[in-house]
Chain A
Amino acid sequence: MVFLNFFISGISLGSIYAIIALGYTMVYGIAKMLNFAHGDVIMVGAYVCFYAVARYNLNPFLGVLIAMIVCTFLGMIVERLAYKPLRQAPSLAVLITAIGMSYFLQNTALLLWSSNPKVFPSIIGRGAFKLFDGRLSVSHITALTIIACIVIMIILSLFISKTKMGKAMRACSEDKGAAQLMGINVNATISLTFAIGSGLAAIAGALLCSAYPTLMPTTGALPGIKAFTAAVFGGIGSIPGAFLGGLMLGVIEIFAKAYISSQLSDAVVFAVLIIVLLVKPAGLLGKLTQEKV
């Protein structure tokens, strides 16, 4: 039973990673860039939600909606100002700019909202479902995160495979030049990708801070890196891969803490990641692209 409890803890941690990883993987898949500022967009989303709910007493779901709108615009502005001028630049330059953006968002947050940690009100309370006479408990927020994750994953997959805009995204991801020749507005498509990714970040922020209720300007940074790892683990660019990678990372982290050593758990997580990538060099569900000679 202890084992199962750990497993559930792992799933609940993993579901948070998964939902953050979805944003990473989506942007990577289409814009081919590692958006290291994603974790900080999450933090901004969480702050907006916090102020809406805790200060202005709005309905939590309305708060999340406001946060989504704010983050969507934020994502589009960031993309327009910092990433778009670098469309032709080497990918490393964009990576560094993204990191600069991450510093920028963190320090803006520090000035706006001070460094004191805030306790985030859970968006759906702190209750739990009790199973097996209460020996096993799944908190509401875990259930909500997993459901949100699955719903988002399905919607995203459908969006990308069925709609016209989704097709445009896939085309951009395959070959930007060819897509442009076919009359697709590549810039608008990439902008849309950022808008969606950042909107997702707001949801991720609200869920992250509901599950682990503490909010600081640096809140998004480390979970962001872990989620990035999760995205690579599952195969970056693959939406189901991000989901799977996130869940597995969470479970491995908890099991490593419980059964190996709480001191070395991070080392174990990263060691597993390395082994997986050696066996499957493109991640669990990633497609290995064949190089054309």
Chain B
Amino acid sequence: MKKVSICLVLVLAMAFSSSCAFGAAFKIGGTGPLTGGAAIYGNAAKNGAEIAVEEINAMNGDIKFEIRYEDDTHDAEKAVNAYNALKDWGMQISLGSVTSKPCEATAAENFADRIFALTPSASSAAVTEGKDNVFQMCFVDPNQGSASAQYIAEKGLAKKVAIIWKNDDVYSKGIRDTFVEKAPSLGLEIVSETTFADGNDNDFSVQLTDAQTKGAELVFLPMYYQPASLILAQATAMGYAPKWFGVDGMDGILTMEGFDKSLAEGVMLLTPFNADATDERTKNFVAKYQAKHNEIPNQFAADGYDCVYAYKEALELAKATPDMDAETLCGKMIEQFTTMTFNGVTGENVKWSANGEVTKDPKGMVIKNGAYVGLD
């Protein structure tokens, strides 16, 4: 019984704790998977956003940020918990969540609480659907699917296409759906469609054999770069060399430690960010990121970085001050984001529509000699 009572006291003691104060800086918070299997994405977005905050605070301008990222382990339940913890901390504007499903859950909270959100990388359509104060920094999945199909058809890359997608992943499924929907009208024939899932994502011989025997000239890979690296390695081992076409999640494949870049030779992908780009902005970001984390930033890091800069611009335009409450800021941000144009490392002339979707030009890239080259 004593144990029981000790536990009860513990629970009650844990129940108390909250702090809420407005300071001289905007409190900006986001959730993402910082541990667990999806930790790559969360940590990248967090690191990118933190670098932007450091830069902006070092400028000593009117806008200063205080940033906090909370771990959601790529789980909707934990994401809502993390979001609430941020709310207790006094978050004024939000970076939503890094991955799609958790962000759908936190976006509903953002909407109910009137806290503006700009997610770096949660790309499913349901994230912004029906919410006037949730915006995306990345392409929405359906757009990627149809843009990829269009690109393949327009450039005449192939007629017969195979798709390998991840059967338990919202991102992969979202892109695959619109790709499949769009393909027939563009004269693309999908000859093979196979899947994998967590737990059987090691061996791709069946999927690749299926694509090969059915004569696919191009294999479309709507997935993140880690399984893609396995697919490329296994295809090379079995001597299958179709054209490969990836999406923005493929970005990062060249920076995997120990990856044999020759395997990715000729892989095409649509990505908004290119770590090898030579413009000042990108070079500065990549150099800072590398100095701090000893890794080359991927697209998630770039999205996180851009989100903070987009906020800076919007807050400046709205003449917002850190003593405003979240709801006032929310109104101002909605006004700015639907009208402003933003230039960042993930795109020039970035605009947002009223439903929160971003418009920016996807850059077609092809990997040549271990580096991205514009595909035009």
B residues near A110, Cβ cutoff 8 Å: 35, 39
Query: Scoring B residues 168 to 189 as 1 if CB is less than 8 Å from chain A, else 0, what string do you get?
Result: 0000000000000000000000
In the bound complex, CA of A118 to CA of B198 (Å): 18
A60 at the interface (CB under 8 A from B): no
One of A213, A226, A263, A266 near B233 (C-beta < 8 A) = A213
Q: Does the CB pair A117–B194 fall under 8 Å?
A: no
Residue of B nearest to A54 (CB): B258
> Are A258 and B230 CB-contacts (below 8 A) given A119-B258, A265-B200?
no
**How many interface residues does chain B have, given as a range?**
35 or more
CA A169 – CA B369 in complex, angstroms?
Answer: 56
B61: CB under 8 A from chain A?
A: no
Q: How far, in Å, is B49 (CB) from chain A's closest CB?
A: 16
A95 and B236 alpha carbons, distance in the complex (Å) = 41
* Set B36, B210, B259: member contacting A218, Cβ < 8 A: B36
Contact digits for B224-247, partner A, Cβ 8 Å, 1 yes 0 no: 001001100100011000000000
Interface of B, secondary structure class, is mixed
Q: Are B226 and A214 in contact (CB under 8 A)?
A: yes
Q: Decide: B230 and A214 in contact? CB cutoff 8 A.
A: yes
Contact across chains for B257 and A223 when beta carbons are under 8 A apart:
no
With A2-B209, A212-B230 as contacts: A118 and B203 at CB distance below 8 Å: no
Give, as a whole number of angstroms, the nearest-CB distance from B216 to chain A. Answer: 15
Cα A30 to Cα B295 in complex, Å, equals 44
User: Which B residues, 189 to 203, have Cβ-Cβ distances below 8 Å to chain A?
Assistant: 194-200, 202-203
Cα distance A19–B232 when bound, in Å? 25
Using Cβ atoms and an 8 Å threshold, which residues of chain A touch B260?
Answer: 119
B197 in complex: contacting residue of A139, A217, A266, CB < 8 Å:
A266
CB-defined contacts of B198 to chain A, threshold 8 Å: 222
Report, as a range, how many residues of chain A touch the other chain: 35 or more
Judging by beta carbons under 8 Å apart, are B213 and A2 in contact? yes
Set B195, B205, B257: member contacting A118, Cβ < 8 A? B257
Partner of A5, one of B205, B258, B259, B295: B205
CB distance from B75 to the nearest CB of A (A): 14
Contacts of A9 in B (CB 8 A): 203, 205-206
With an 8 A cutoff between CB atoms, is A262 at the interface? yes
Is the CB–CB distance between B43 and A114 below 8 Å?
Answer: yes
Chain A, residue nearest B201 (CB): A222
B25 at the interface (CB under 8 A from A): no
B interface, CB within 8 angstroms of A: 35-37, 39-40, 42-43, 167, 194-200, 202-203, 205-207, 209-210, 213, 226, 229-230, 233, 237-238, 256-260, 295
A-B contact pairs, 9 of them (CB 8 A): A9-B205, A13-B202, A114-B295, A115-B39, A118-B258, A212-B230, A216-B37, A222-B199, A262-B207
Show the binding face of A for B, using Cβ within 8 Å: 2, 5-6, 9, 12-13, 16, 50, 54, 107, 110, 114-121, 126, 128, 137, 139, 211-214, 216-218, 221-223, 225-226, 253-254, 257-258, 262-263, 265-266
Q: Other CB < 8 Å A-B pairs besides A117-B226, A121-B258, 8 of them?
A: A2-B209, A9-B205, A50-B258, A115-B42, A118-B257, A119-B229, A216-B40, A223-B202
Q: Which 3 A-B pairs have the closest CB atoms?
A: A115-B39, A119-B258, A9-B205
